[in-house]
Amino acid sequence: MKSQILFLLFSFLFLAEAKGQEVEPISKDTKQILFLGNSITYSGEYLAYVETVYRLNHPDRKLDWLNLGLPSETVSGLSEEGHAGGAFPRPDLHERLDRIFTQIQPELVFVNYGMNDGIYLPFDSTRFNKYADGMSWLDQKIRAFNARPIFLTPPIYDPEKGIPYSITLDLYADWLITQKSKYGWEVIDIHFPVKAYLEAQRKVEPEFYLAKDGVHPNSTGHWLMAKPILEFLGLGEIDSKTTFEELISTYPNGLDLFILISQKQKILRDAYLSATGHLRPGIAEGLPLPEAEKQAALLENQIRELLAPKN
């Protein structure tokens, strides 16, 4: 009996110590969170879902959520011949990253690349190595800026639009996941949960889709991407059948909060993309930063009013 009591006491102390050593998803000294990626990040829906749900659960946290995704961009530096009808090559993150970090000093950087990096072609080791080298470069650069990189596996390419490229992104996602055990990278898998959801829905409804063009997710697809990120941020597992609308309906002012957060993110996105510069034609010019920050501050005041407890 005595040995059993000692064992239970030891186990309790061990678990308490291990829990105390866990890395906080967002440390208390974090003030700014940056998202980098291509058009899927630029559209911003999954990012707005994440901020909304996080703030509903942590109304007192003061964090800036910044979206600097750029349509068509790669981290591999590759561009297919005749991209955009020959109007311009794909932009390369290498060209603008240093400028971003001269104006933004985030503690946490979420990275969402891969969709464009295989150039929509069957798997090729040379192209893959360009992607892997680009991600390794990005990991080192973010750490050199004293920030913490969090990598997202690539979104899925719908196999109905082309099985070979769907497999390419499976392989890119597999490689990124292995970097967790190999090099200690922090990786959130959005790829395979979304793929599993799509496959399950297609068994019931063969015409079901998450992206009409095979690339750009609809609102359901963005919500499926947001869920693993929210789980990583400590929000717990969210049932796969729970929609974003169902979740925020359980909070007062949930939908109004989402609308304000989306507006604020877009104003700051456009302003910072213009201020930091890029080579992608066709992107709307943002407001000058002082004006954008003024408008964002007004929206933030409204957001805080919605989040404030009511007596």
**Mean pLDDT of the region 284-288:** 97
* Closest C-alpha among 176, 214, 164, 213 to residue 194: 214
What pLDDT shows up at residue 23? 53
- Enumerate residues 6+ apart whose C-beta is below 8 A from 219: 45, 244
Domain boundaries, the chain: 29-307
**Mean pLDDT of the region 278-306:** 97
What pLDDT shows up at residue 240? 76
Q: How confident is the model at residue 3 (pLDDT cuts 50, 70, 90)?
A: very low
pTM: 0.91
Contact 201/208 with Cβ under 8 angstroms? yes
Listing from the earlier edge strand, what are the strands of the sheet with 32-37?
64-67, 32-37, 108-112, 148-152, 186-188
DSSP secondary structure string, 72-101? T-BSS----TTGGGGT-PPPBGGGTHHHHH
Contact 52/261 with Cβ under 8 angstroms? yes
What's the mean per-residue pLDDT of the chain? 92
pLDDT tens for 107-121 read 999 999 999 999 999
pLDDT tens for 165-175 read 999 999 999 99
**Mean pLDDT of the region 178-206:** 97
Q: Are strands 108-112 and 64-67 parallel, antiparallel or unpaired?
A: unpaired
Check whether domain 29-307 has CATH 2.40.50.100, yes or no: no
Whether the predicted pLDDT of 7 surpasses 50: no
pLDDT tens for 197-217 read 999 999 999 999 999 999 999
